[in-house]
Amino acid sequence: STESEPPKVQEEVDSSSQSISKKAAKKEAAKKAKEERRKEAEAAASAASALSIEEEGPLANNYGDVPLQELQSVNDPQTGKWSEAVNGREWTVVGALNGSLKDQEVLIRGRVHTTRPVGNKLAFVVVRERVSTVQCLATVKPDSVSKEMVRFVRSLSNESIVDVIGVVSVPDVEIKGATQQVEVQIKKLYCVSRAAKTPITIEDASRSEAEIEKASK
């Protein structure tokens, strides 16, 4: 019996080593996945920044990715176009958007829930804050929205954090894709934090098996 003890200890050591090895492999895989997501986010941000670089003139100031330095200097309007746009304004929570605010200009912050392009002159983006969502519309206008800005909106990945300045409107038909029954006509949009694109969205992950089966038919 005493001779069997060392192998038993060795087995425990081997098992422990295998466990440590597996943990190390998982840790390394997670590290690589995180690095890949970081690179994807940087590439997306670089591509989006290129969109605003392509455009010159006053309309280029109405959109873009916000640098970290500018975020940290929000009270200095001379830091950049985002600071100049939001400094001194009051924020409106998405859940408070309703018909009483019709024709008023608002500033909101939230995560990109979904985006839907319609041609090259129009794009919808649903912005989510907590459990509330609102449909925002970017359409080409000579005084505020350029084609490049619409392209920028279309490039936004889900879960990115955005600041939107726009005018509240009340459509004649029910908005089925958002909790708030108003639209925000976008005048300015800035991406505060761009999320890496994922193979599956939160919306897809929250679907029931019945909904998935129905959608696949």
Residue 87 sits in a domain of what CATH number? 2.40.50.140
HSE at residue 52, side-chain half, CA atoms within 13 A, is 22
3-state DSSP assignment of residue 121: coil
- 94 belongs to a structural domain: yes
Tokens 């190390």 locate to 24
CA–CA separation, 125 vs 114, rounded Å? 6
CA–CA separation, 206 vs 133, rounded Å? 16
Tokens 């309703």 locate to 98
Tokens 């934090």 locate to 193
Do 166 and 185 meet the contact criterion of CB atoms below 8 Å apart?
A: yes
Number of structural domains (the chain) is 1
- 105 belongs to a structural domain: yes
Residue 63's domain comprises 53-193
- 9 belongs to a structural domain: no
- 78 belongs to a structural domain: yes
**Residue 142: predicted pLDDT:** 92
- 29 belongs to a structural domain: no
**Residue 13: predicted pLDDT:** 43
**Residue 43: predicted pLDDT:** 59
Neighbours of 18 (CB within 10 A): 10
- 20 belongs to a structural domain: no
- 67 belongs to a structural domain: yes
**Residue 30: predicted pLDDT:** 78
pTM above 0.75, yes or no: no
- 81 belongs to a structural domain: yes
Query: Across the 217 residues of the chain, what is the mean pLDDT of every consecutive 10-residue run?
Result: 38 50 76 72 56 66 91 73 91 97 98 94 96 97 94 95 98 94 98 80 56 54
3-state DSSP assignment of residue 78: coil
